[in-house]
Structure 1
Amino acid sequence: MQPKTEEPKLFGMLEDLKKEELEKFKWFLRDRDVLVELQPIPKSRLEKASTCDLVDLMVQTYTEKSVEVTTKVLKKINRNDLRERVEQEEAEREHHTHTKQFQFQTWSSVCGGDHGGKHFVDKHRVQLIQRVSNVAPILDDLLGSDVISQESYNSIMALPTSQDKMRTLYSHLNTERCNDIFYKILLENEKHLIDEFSAK
């Protein structure tokens, strides 16, 4: 089974790709020079994949070769700096295991793994729906992170109340990694609420 440690490394490498770079990345995922003996991910599954979905697809398809494939593609699109940065941050984490470093997404530190196995945003779902009033900047960040599509963004923004917006937003958080991105965005936009809920 694929070690979970590969998932945050993959996400760390891909999260800062610009939209056009992400499209190039997907294109090179079908390059035989990159894949060698590995099977390509079907084009139909790649086309609409967000960053979160892409991490899932790569782990499912390439298992222990996921990081190797990612590194090859990043070299092809001249973004080897992302691999180097993630490896540096990972090394720093190993030397400072008790230091929270939100620059590098990890499913344990960012998702609030001390809540009995339940993700922070799931545990505090009701309170967040009721208390978060300024939803627009959160939706902007989710759109920019490819967690939601432009179509979903438009439909959520059209809803009449912040509670309706938050409730519908939650229906789009369908993977653990997307929850992690949502948590990071909340930390940037609603830190007082996160601190309040974390203290309980």
Structure 2
Amino acid sequence: METVRKNKTFLIDTLSTDASIVLQHVQSDDIILQRDYKNLNHPNYTDEKIIINLLDTVMGRGDETCRKFLKVLEKQELQEIFPQLKHHFTPEQASAERQREREKGSVMAHHKGAEFVDKHREQLIQRVSSVMEIADCLLTQKMITDEMYSEISAAATMQGKMRILYKSLDSKTVKEEFYKVLKEKQRFLVADLEG
């Protein structure tokens, strides 16, 4: 949806030169219904008004409809009618956009792990039993320094080791990695705290 929104002005300017052909394509690809087609192709509407309403309809129906619409814009037939689309909507750009959306979803998942680590700090300090195993994984992934690893190792108790480990959890990325390792090494504890 973000791609359609960001390019809305460009799409209005470009597609308004022949709104009827655009409507035919989006209808034939089942992006809009026959009823939508009739409402959008109102005889009193200018081509610009038709395209504005079409874009609003597509965005109003969510990400999946927007993706289908972008696929229509990638069609060679449409790109021959509207050559400006070649510079904005290619399969490669669509693939890059889908990757950005996946990463955005991944970032949201990172927040979940970081929130878990912050929320359950006291419980984790008291209950994690394999601190050095977790520290080994974080060191291997370069999430903690050798110095921090040595400091964790030198602590006398598991709780002391966890308190020192928590000092190194200084970013959402590190917290997310810690959360992943924790889910792998202490899955029953994580399940208990999440439950």
Normalized per residue, the structure richer in helix is: 2
The structure that has the greater radius of gyration is 2
TM-score (ref. length: structure 1): 0.44
